[in-house]
Amino acid sequence: MTFKEQIQEGIPSVLPQPKPYDPTINHAPKRKEILSAEEKKLALRNALRYFEPQHHAELAKEFADELEKYGRIYMYRFRPDYEMYARPISEYPGKSEQAKAIMLMIQNNLDYAVAQHPHELITYGGNGAVFQNWAQYRLVMKYLSEMTEEQTLVMYSGHPMGLFPSHKDAPRVVVTNGMMIPNYSKPDDWEKFNALGVTQYGQMTAGSYMYIGPQGIVHGTTITVMNGGRKISKNGEGLEGKVFVTSGLGGMSGAQPKAGNIAGCITVCAEVNPKAVHTRHSQGWVDEVVTDTDALVKRVLEAKANKEVVSIAYQGNIVDVWEKFDEENIYIDLGSDQTSLHNPWAGGYYPAGISFEESNRLMAEEPETFREKVQETLRRHAAAINKHTAKGTYFFDYGNAFLLEASRAGADIMAENGIDFKYPSYVQDIMGPMCFDYGFGPFRWVCASGKPEDLAKTDAIALNILEEMSTTAPAEIKQQMQDNIKWIKGAQENKLVVGSQARILYADAEGRIKIAEAFNQAIAKGEIGYVVLGRDHHDVSGTDSPYRETSNIYDGSRFTADMAIHNVIGDSFRGATWVSIHNGGGVGWGEVINGGFGMVLDGSSDASRRLESMLFWDVNNGIARRGWARNEGAVFAIKRAMEVQPLLKVTIPNMVDDALLG
């Protein structure tokens, strides 16, 4: 069968042969035992409903074995034989070009070079899934190959509910992931209901088909490190010779070494998983690998003396680095952490002093012991950080729930008032006031042709727009504009592409609209192929996350989720090609609601109309909310937006003299 025929087949009527477990692939850890005997039967019943009854006897035993061995039913037998990567849009079967673009994005999320655990359909973050099992993948691709512009595919946490009649301006796909009744959103609820096969953790861009590899976060990480450097800078000096210590080399955290190189510092990034270290080193995202703390100390001292720009992966536990650097009195200028602490009990964070293999065994077989060891390590981790900050280190939480989980473990991490943390979130100190309040966030695009030359052309178009905008930009956003120009100028030489021909660029609403319209015009002229627009959910208005994206909201509303819900509803009727809303992405199940979109540009006047309407709302919805919270930059930005668009009328807060409040 050809590739197109395999896509159109969906779930095969003749069972494919079982596939051997491939130990060379980075697999998800075994999930802990959580289902009762009756619930295991329900999980099997749920899985078997995808298949014709004559196959149930054979598959029931196989699926029961998977549930026992891995804690989940992945349906490995149904993993396709073809290579998984983002093909040019022309290679996909279908009646709708928009649907073909979505197939391209789904396969990019599952590309072995992109996905963290590709055989378990997990893109990043340890549990950020595109689908729960391979039957869902096959059904979705079949539905997309059949879809017309008068239908919408409805997705329930990885399960394709089906194609429903709609219209050409409706989204082609509507995605929800993990949307739970609030009282059922604890970590163990995810374990249980995911094992039952009825929900999944979509992370942010995993379950919304918009992940573009570590590049997806590298721009934001670069901005964060650069602005962190500016906060500690004396007399405008740069980051040359300064040390940035962090951890995590997974799907999102793997961007950190590259960002450190672009920002111009010495980056030390610890990672316990040897396969993750190898992947990032082989892809050129980290320069060197060290496995011994003495050798690491020697190498860092050498780099400091020579003011090198270098990134070093330490294959081991981050706690060993913080403690060793304290013993050797190595000064750390910037410190953070990007382990997946939204998922602390299932592979997101590993205990010190225990091997990677033994940790995985404990996780599955002795979960309470594993939990105790993780919390013990978090206390050590925080104590070591405290020693360094006492010497002057600037430490920030990278929105991965490090401070939250450390506090729950009883670490010395709380401020004197007993309410706040000792250290700020990077959104509180950097991204919120410097970027999100002004509408700057992670706009991204993918060239559906798969041609590197198309990506180069889009880079040039975006650079031209930015340079033109910077000449008239107000003083309040001059720095942001210059940072973006520097970024896009270096995008090609920094070799950021992993998987699809994609780019990320922090831009405001005006920049996003102008760049998108310029792309659409270039498509109309035949200069480039179709372009898929999107963004990280980690943006101005897509996400309500009290310890990250909305951590700089101080009017008491940071625990509400109206903004994210309004965002996805508004995007739906303003022209998005697909929309998504998730529970749990980034900082943990039950801790955040986040939404995203995808939009296909085809050079048409319809695309031009949609992009202007949707992108304006997608950003200004969040600015309006941030402005109402009395954030100074957001008040400035929303007033400016009202000047540009007369139909926009936003409620502006009146400021109160605190002296009147007693």
CA 181 to chain centre: 24
Helix pair angle (367-389, 356-365), 10° resolution:
130
Is residue 571 within 8 Å of 597, Cβ to Cβ?
yes
Structure tokens at 19: 């596939």
Q: Which amino acid is located at 340 in the chain? A: S
Instruction: Summarize the chain as % helix, strand, coil (round to 5).
Output: 45, 15, 40
> Is residue 271 a known part of a binding site?
yes
Instruction: Select from 127, 183, 137 the least CA-distant residue to 158.
Output: 137
125 assigned ligand-binding residue: yes
> Is 126 marked within a binding site?
yes
Q: Is 379 helix (H, G, I), strand (E, B) or coil?
A: helix
Which distant-in-sequence residues (6+ apart) come within 8 Å of 361 by Cβ?
A: none
State the alpha helices, DSSP H only, in 71-207. Answer: 97-109, 134-146, 187-195
∠ CA 142-133-77, nearest 5°, is: 85
398 labelled ligand-binding: yes
Tell me the C-alpha distance between 626 and 620, whole Å: 10
Identify residue 604 by its one-letter amino acid code: S
How many helices and strands in the chain, by DSSP H and E?
Answer: 22, 17
Burial of residue 203, with CB atoms counted within 10 A of its CB: 0-12 exposed, 13-18 middle, 19 or more buried: buried
Residue with token string 């020579």: 306
What 3-state DSSP class applies to 175? strand
Q: Is 202 annotated as a binding residue?
A: no
Element (H or E) spanning 159, and its range?
strand 159-165
Are the beta carbons of 427 and 552 closer than 8 angstroms?
yes
Q: What are the DSSP E strand ranges found in 171-242?
A: 173-177
Contact criterion met (CB below 8 Å) for 84 and 112: yes
Measured between alpha carbons, how far is 466 from 485 in angstroms, rounded to an integer?
A: 6
CB 246 within 8 A of CB 335: yes
- The 10 Å Cβ neighbour count of residue 548 is 30
The dihedral through the CA atoms of 643, 644, 650, 653 has a sign that is negative
Q: Which residues fall in the annotated binding site?
A: 125-126, 203, 271, 398, 586
Q: Which residues fall in the annotated binding site for NAD(+)?
A: 125-126, 203, 271, 398, 586
